[in-house]
Structure 1
Amino acid sequence: MKPTLEAGYPVQSLEYWLSPELAKVSPPEAPSRLRQLADAQGTLAAGWSSAITGGPVLALTGTYGSILSGNLSWLIVLGLIGTALTVVGVLSWKRVRTTLPTSDKSLITRGPGSARGGITTMAVFAGLTGAALATALPAAAERGTTGALIGAYLLIVALLGACILVPSIVLGRARKSFRRRLDADPGFRKAVEDDLASWRDPYGHAGYGPL
């Protein structure tokens, strides 16, 4: 069936634009409305995924601080902040993944956009931090605080994982996750179909897809 025309634009079904074959023949960097939505949603989800995983790291940091200092205020303060951060992150994560992102602003991320990039970046920062802390090992050994220094380093690595690695994994899987939700969530698919019916490229005659 040939596509109909509306105001000079070819109108195709969402199923057509979601075709894996169409995505394969289109360069990954080629822009499309579907890719814009998936990438924007992935950017928002990546931010909240960092909050979800960062909360437990804060709580663990509070626990560690309390053990070292014997003061429960570390655990109470950082534990409460970490719990609140995780709860807000989970609620926001669910909302972001079930609604279409607004398209009036472009979302820009400075971090790595794939798991490989996240691992590389995290390894670099962890290596630099480890090298810096290694210079303090002799003094820590004299004071008997080597274990505390190692524990602090492990917490820093965990924080790097929450802030760099986890978001990069989410970003790298943004388009695949978007496609899965379209197949699994009828309400979300209806929202995308409504967007397809009303969207027109403001700068030319670009198509709605591929994804």
Structure 2
Amino acid sequence: MTSPIPYDARPVHPLEYWLSPDLARVSPPNAPSRLRQLADAQGTLAAGWSSAIAGGPVLALAGAFYSATSGNPAAFAVLGPLGAALTALGLSFWKRVRATLPNTDKALITRGPGSARGGIVMVSVLAVILGGILSTFLPAAASRGDGTALVLAGTFLLIVALLVACILVPSVVLGRARQSFRQRVQVNPELRRAVEQDLAVWHDPYGTAGYGPL
């Protein structure tokens, strides 16, 4: 009776093989792999924090605008520091997320578009709808001559800027998640060591998916 062959955790291919762009190009984009799982999960987390980074200046700009149009500095006094804190927090976690391997045991669900093109389309559609609604109030506001039309126009631009921060910016990050992950693994020694350690011990628990391509 032959003894069972012990599981060999040593990878068949080195990490550089799985990181090859040529290998990724000949593989269907929806084909599962461990590297794609890591890149997509990391991209999802980074996308969330990127919206915080972009949303902070929008909050500060909104505070400055409403303080200027109302003559009351309270709006900027509240939204200015809040926007700065949101951007600082987003930058801190964004850098941390991109430098470490994500926990893939938890499912991450995204509701927005996953590419720059999808983000542009979604923001454009929402902006057109919002602009159509606000335009119905613009003639009456302009006839009053008290600056209401300026507030309406400024509010529209601020909402569009918020849509860009919350939809377009994350969609760009998501669309570049795999390419960006490959670049960081190649230039960040700590991240590369973490991926190599993961490669040495990982095996597909559900099927025969490979570690790559990316």
**Paired residues for 1:1-211 under 5 Å:** 7=7, 11-144=12-145, 145-211=148-214
Alpha-carbon deviation of 1:6?
Answer: 6.8
- Residues 6/63 of structure 1: CA separation in 2 closer, same or farther (3 Å cut): farther
| Whole-Å separation in 2 of the counterparts to 1:92 and 1:178 | 16
Aligned sequence identity (%): 67
Gaps of 5+ in 2: none
The count of aligned residue pairs is 207
Note closer, same or farther for the CA distance 1:195–1:38 as it changes in structure 2 (3 Å cut). Answer: same
Residue identity matched to 1:114: S
Letter aligned with residue 12 of structure 1: H
Q: CA deviation at 1:152?
A: 0.9
Name the TM-score, length of structure 1 as normaliser. Answer: 0.94
The RMSD of aligned alpha carbons is 1.5
Find the aligned partners of 1:180 and 1:23 in 2 and give their Cα distance: 14
Mapped partners of 1:138, 1:73: distance in 2: 29
Residue 106 of structure 1 aligns to a residue whose secondary structure is: coil
C-alpha deviation, 1:8, in angstroms: 7.7
**3-state SS of 1:11 partner:** coil
CA shift in 2, pair 1:6/1:140, >3 Å:
farther
Change (3 A) 1:137 1:25: same
Q: For residues 178 and 197 of structure 2, what CA distance do their matches in structure 1 show?
A: 19
